[in-house]
Each structure stands twice: as C-alpha cells, then as structure tokens.
C-alpha cells in the first residue's frame, strides 16, 4: 500500500493515508515522498471526502474508517483494482508470484531491466537498495510487480494477482501459507490456476523444474509457453545454474549455447533461484543473458532481506524478513555456509518474532524445528497470540532454544551473552518493537 501511494503521487494525485504502527523503511520512504501519514483509522481523516479511497486488505468490517466510508457512501476500491485501472492498462506486466522470495526476485528483475536501459515501472513490497524508492511509473511499457496470492480486500476475496493481467510470470515456489484465508494447499493452488488462466498465449511462465506443488498447478492447464530453471545441469531445464563456490556468491547461468557468470554479495540457493528466474524473465523482455548476469553482479539487495545493520562491540547484526519455515531454513543454512567458507568461528544467533497469522495459528509446528538447526542459539519472542508449542520445537531442534514474552528480556539476554565475532539475525516481518535499534544501541554502549 505504501508503494501504491508513491505511484499515485507520481501520477499527480494528492495522496494521504491512514495506517496503524507504520515502521521503517516504508514509513521513512513515505515521509521522503511528502505523503502525509495519519496514525490510526479515525473517520475524521476522511473529512475532506477524497475522490477515491483505496482500502488495503488488512482493513475489514468493524474498522472505524471502513464503517464511515460505507455509511456516507464514499467511493472506494481495492489496491489491486486501482493498480489495474490506473497503472497496468496497456503495460507489459512482469509478475513475480510464489510463497517466498517475491520481493527479492521482483527487485532483481526491475534492476536487470533498468540496467539494460529499459527504464521499467515497478511496484515492490520492500525497498530495493539499487533504487531510491519501492515504486515508480517508469518510462516504457515494462512494469514489474510483486504478485501476491493474498486476497484483495474484505469485499474482493480474489487473489491480488488476478487483477494484474501479466504477460511474463515467475512462479518461484508454492507452499501452504495464509492459514487465515486458505484452508489447505489445494485452495491456494486453485488461485494460481486462476492466475494461469489470465496469461495470454504469447506470454511466458517461468518456474523451477520438478516442483511438485507447482507442477500440480500446471497439470490443471497452462495456455502459454513455459520455461524451467534448475540448480543442476538437467537438460530438461532451459535455464541451468552451476555453482562455482560453496556459498553461492559465484555461479554460472546457462541458456541454450549462452552462459554468463554472476559474482555478487548474496548467498544461498534461494537467492540463486531468485536470480536465475529474474534473468529468464528479463530475457523474455529482450535483455541478453550477458546483461542479465552483469546486472545481478551489481545487485545490492533489499532492505530487511538479510540486511547488515552494522557491527556493534564486535557483534554483527542483521535484519531479515523471513517468517516461514522454508525461508528461515534457507537463510540460516546459507549464512552458515558463508561463515564456514570464510573460516569464521563466531556463533550464529537467531532472534525470531513469529508474526504471520499462519505461524501464530500453529500450522508450522511440525516443520519449525528442522528450519532452526543451522543456528547455535535461537531466541523466540513468545507473544500472547501464538499457539505454537515452543518447548516441543526447542527440544526437537536439539539446539540452545529460549523464549521470552518481553522484547526487553531478549535485549538484556543478548547484551549479556553475545561476544565479539558472533552474528545475530533478527527475523520478523514487522517492526518488532524497534528491537533492531535497541540491540544496536545496547551492544554498542555496554561496558
């Protein structure tokens, strides 16, 4: 919604917004764009009767602003509908879908197109470091969008990506998530099946080779060409990757008789998969493999995606958005490999706030332990809302696992135990009560 506000401002509209507990980097970006942000959902914020009110999918009946809008019949729509009608018409939309990696992959794709001189528009759910903002209109038909399967609004239960009418689509992975709106994996796959129906016959779908959950979607019908990528030399994949180091910081991408090398600061197989998918999508828009790999080598990452915040009293602090067992596992294991390859002996400490509805509802109880084993110490923020049996998870993981109901206890524990050479990754898809800044200050000022 913050990125959408930026696009509306760029179109020339006067834009204001109401939200609850906005945190950086999006709050900072809105400030920089001169977009007035009002705290909470007070109907008084709508006293000037806006020409259009775009309602985000976190707002539902009972919200004071929503009730006011309905009572006095103010005009409203969903974010995806507004995008479709005002931004995406007659654009070549490149959509990035899947359970994990959408923000990183869409950031990579937008950067590759920009590096190749195509000046695309884009709307991304995070803030890419290669750009000054998370959204822009662009100067050519190309528009990159992060395409979410979550519902559009309380009055439109279709997945957001149905509105986007993409020509190029990346479907990077597919797992069960969003337990608050989807009862099972099959219901999510049905939404992706609907997405396949919207892609024109001259479009393209890019996906991993031999992914059972993704293949089940394709089995129900695909009406355009497909291309597959693989981290092996499997001839069935049009796009193949050869890792040239253990951590994934150097790799070769091959397509037909062409190949190119990527040397970047990222690590882990999940980032490589995101990268090769972005190169393949850019190729559909006319970017050469060589240019795609050159651009990836200059990709700086995304804020809050294993973002290094600095070193404080010898302790390195990172911020990461991971909030699903698969994402947690791939991030921790990739980081562990990086430490081993560099010969660093410090501990890997992971601090987690399980904030997604699916996590809080306990649906990942059986898979969480395995996702944590690469860490030396896991500290879990035990919120009142969680239904997870944290003791069972800690015991199954077989590592040093602790949980605290207060962020202050987490900060004091880390300050007391972290030593120079340790690495701390804070994982949350929210503000986490400003724990990143609090940890940095407390570590830097300890005696």
Is residue 237 scored above 70 in pLDDT?
yes
Q: Are residues 339 and 291 in the same domain?
A: no
Assigned domain for 184 exists: yes
Q: What is the pLDDT of residues 177-192, one digit of tens each?
A: 776 778 889 999 999 9
Q: Are residues 244 and 156 in the same domain?
A: yes
Round to whole Å and give the CA distance between 275 and 434: 31
Could you tell me if 126 and 305 are in contact, meaning their C-beta atoms sit under 8 angstroms apart?
A: yes
Q: Are residues 285 and 320 in the same domain?
A: no
Q: Are residues 124 and 197 in the same domain?
A: yes
Q: Are residues 265 and 134 in the same domain?
A: yes
Assigned domain for 5 exists: no
Rounded to an integer, the average pLDDT of 415-427 is: 92
Assigned domain for 252 exists: yes
Assigned domain for 30 exists: no
Assigned domain for 50 exists: no
Q: Are residues 227 and 123 in the same domain?
A: yes
Q: Are residues 172 and 288 in the same domain?
A: yes
- Token pair 């479709």 is at which residue? 84
pLDDT of residue 340: 84
Could you tell me if 90 and 112 are in contact, meaning their C-beta atoms sit under 8 angstroms apart?
A: no
Global pTM? 0.79
Q: Are residues 269 and 321 in the same domain?
A: no
| Average pLDDT of every residue of the chain | 91
Q: Are residues 188 and 315 in the same domain?
A: no
List Cβ neighbours of 419 (8 Å cut-off, separation of 6 or more): 314, 315, 346, 347
Say what percent of the chain tops pLDDT 70.
98
Q: How far apart are the first and last CA of the chain?
A: 43
Q: What is the pLDDT of residues 139-159, one digit of tens each?
A: 999 999 999 998 999 999 999
**Left, alpha or beta for 22 (phi > 0: left; psi -120 to 50: alpha)?**
beta
pLDDT of residue 93: 98
Last residue of a domain, one of 297, 331, 348: 297
362 band by pLDDT with thresholds 50, 70 and 90: low
Round to whole Å and give the CA distance between 443 and 349: 14
Q: Are residues 313 and 362 in the same domain?
A: yes
Assigned domain for 44 exists: no
Assigned domain for 412 exists: yes
Which of 54-58, 127-131, 249-253, 357-361 comes out lowest in average pLDDT?
357-361
Task: Tell me how many domains the chain contains.
Answer: 2
Is residue 249 scored above 90 in pLDDT?
no
Rounded to an integer, the average pLDDT of 380-403 is: 85
From 215, 178, 163, select the one nearest 193 (Cα to Cα).
215
Q: Are residues 96 and 124 in the same domain?
A: yes
Assigned domain for 45 exists: no
Round to whole Å and give the CA distance between 401 and 423: 16
CATH, residue 225: 3.40.1190.10
The residue segments making up the domain with residue 344 are 307-445
Is residue 322 scored above 80 in pLDDT?
no
Is residue 101 scored above 70 in pLDDT?
yes
Last residue of a domain, one of 247, 269, 297: 297
Round to whole Å and give the CA distance between 121 and 106: 11
Q: Are residues 165 and 239 in the same domain?
A: yes
Round to whole Å and give the CA distance between 204 and 176: 24
- CA–CA distances in Å: residue 281 to residues 81, 143, 285, 292: 24, 12, 7, 10
Last residue of a domain, one of 297, 316, 336: 297
CATH, residue 333: 3.90.190.20
């Amino acid at each position: 919604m913050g990125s959408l506000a930026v696009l509306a401002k760029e179109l020339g509209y006067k834009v204001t917004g109401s939200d609850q507990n906005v945190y950086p980097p999006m709050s900072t970006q809105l400030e920089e764009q001169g977009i007035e942000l009002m705290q909470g959902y007070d109907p008084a914020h709508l006293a000037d009767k806006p020409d259009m009110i775009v309602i985000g999918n976190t707002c539902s009946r009972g919200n004071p602003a929503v009730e006011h809008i309905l009572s006095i019949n103010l005009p409203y729509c969903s974010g995806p509908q507004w995008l479709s009608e005002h931004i995406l018409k007659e654009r070549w939309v490149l959509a990035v879908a899947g359970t994990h990696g959408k923000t990183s992959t869409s950031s990579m794709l937008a950067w590759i197109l920009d590096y190749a001189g195509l000046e695309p528009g884009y709307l991304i759910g995070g803030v890419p470091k290669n750009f000054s903002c998370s959204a822009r209109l662009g100067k050519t038909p190309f528009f990159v969008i992060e395409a979410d399967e979550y519902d559009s609004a309380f009055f439109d239960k279709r997945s957001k990506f149905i509105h986007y009418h993409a020509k190029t689509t990346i479907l990077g992975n597919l797992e069960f998530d969003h337990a608050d709106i989807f009862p099972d994996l099959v219901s999510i796959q049905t939404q992706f099946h609907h997405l396949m129906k919207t892609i024109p016959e001259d479009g393209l779908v890019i996906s991993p080779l031999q992914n059972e959950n993704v293949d089940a979607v394709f089995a129900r019908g695909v009406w355009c060409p497909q291309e597959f990528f693989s981290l092996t030399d499997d001839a069935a994949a049009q796009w193949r990757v050869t890792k040239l180091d253990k951590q994934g910081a150097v790799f070769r991408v091959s397509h037909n008789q062409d190949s190119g090398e990527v040397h970047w600061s990222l690590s882990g197989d999940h980032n490589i998969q995101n990268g090769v998918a972005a190169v393949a999508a850019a190729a559909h828009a006319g970017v050469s493999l060589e240019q795609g790999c050159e651009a990836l080598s200059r990709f700086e990452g995304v804020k809050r995606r294993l973002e290094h915040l600095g070193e404080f009293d010898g302790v390195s602090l990172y911020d990461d958005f991971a909030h699903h067992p698969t994402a947690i596992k791939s991030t921790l294991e990739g980081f562990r490999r990086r430490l081993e390859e560099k010969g660093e002996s410090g501990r890997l400490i992971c601090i987690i706030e399980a904030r997604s509805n699916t996590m809080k509802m306990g649906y990942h109880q059986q898979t969480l332990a395995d996702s944590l084993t690469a860490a030396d110490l896991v500290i879990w923020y035990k919120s009142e809302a969680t239904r997870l049996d944290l003791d069972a998870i800690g015991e199954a993981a077989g590592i040093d696992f602790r949980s605290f109901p207060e962020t202050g206890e987490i900060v004091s524990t880390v300050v007391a135990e972290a030593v120079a050479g340790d690495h701390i990754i804070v994982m949350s898809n929210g503000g986490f009560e400003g724990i990143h800044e609090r940890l940095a200050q407390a570590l830097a000022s300890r005696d």
